[in-house]
Amino acid sequence: MAVMKKKGKKELPAISTSSLPDVIYMILFFFMVSTSMRDQELLVRYKLPDATEVQKLEKKSLVSYIHIGQPSLSMQAKFGTAPRIQLNDSYKNTKDILDFVAAERDKLNEADRAAMTVCLKADGQTKMGIVTDVKQELRRANALKINYAASKSLGYY
C-alpha cells in the first residue's frame, strides 16, 4: 500500500467519474417526463398554419388525429401530390372517417366519450374543400369537438 501512495503523489489524481451515471440518469428522467411516445408514422407532409390565439391541447388520451396534406416524398411516386387524408397508419377517404371516429370512441371510457376531441392537422396550403368534407363527415359522426392544429406565431403583420 505504501508503494501505491507514493505513486499517487507523483501523478495528478484522475477526475472522479462516479457521479456521471447520476447526471445521465437525471437527464434521462427529464426526457422521460417531458416527452411523449411517437405513436404513428406520418405518411403526409404538412406545415401547420400559424395563429396567435392557440391553446394547448389538454388530455392527450382523449385526442384523435386526422392528418391532411400531400403524401410524403417517398410516397409521392405511388400516390401523386394531391392532398390525402391519413387516419391511423394509412391513406383513407372521407367515407372512412365515420368508422374511424367510432373506433376511436370505443377506445375511451364511457365517461370520457363526450370529451373526445378530434385534432385536424392540415397543411396550410390545402384547400378548404377537403377540410370541409372532413368537417361534414365529423358532424355526421357526431364528433363535434374539434381543434384546428396551428403553430404559435407572434402575429401576421
Partner 1 sequence: MSSNKRKVPEVNSSSQADIAFSLLIFFLVATTMNTDTGLARMLPPMPPENQQQEDIKVKERNLFLVLISGNGAIMAGTPTDQQIIDLRELKDKAQEFVLNPMDTEDLPEKEDTEIELADGSKWVYPVSQGVISLQTTRDTGYQAYIQVQNELTRAFNEIRDQVAEKKFGAKFADLPEENRAAVAKAVPLKISEAEPRNIKK
Backbone angles phi, psi at 22, to 5 degrees: -65, -40
Three-point CA angle 63, 66, 70, nearest 5°: 150
Q: Which stretch binds partner 1 (CB under 8 A): 73-81, 96-104, 108-116, 146-154?
A: 146-154
- Residues 82 to 141 in contact with partner 1, rule: CB under 8 A: 117, 119-120, 122-129, 131-132, 135-136, 138-140
The rounded distance, in Å, linking the Cα atoms of 97 and 134 is 8
In the block, residue with C-alpha cell 499517487: 8
Three-point CA angle 33, 87, 146, nearest 5°: 70
What minimum distance in Å lies between the beta carbon of 23 and partner 1? 9
- Residues 20 to 79 in contact with partner 1, rule: CB under 8 A: 20-21, 24-25, 27-28, 31-32, 34-38, 49-57, 60, 63
Residues binding partner 1: number (CB under 8 A): 57
Q: How far is CA 97 from each of CA 94, 141, 142, rounded to the nearest angstrom?
A: 6, 8, 11
Which residues of this protein are in contact with partner 1, per CB under 8 A?
Answer: 17-18, 20-21, 24-25, 27-28, 31-32, 34-38, 49-57, 60, 63, 117, 119-120, 122-129, 131-132, 135-136, 138-140, 142-152, 156-157
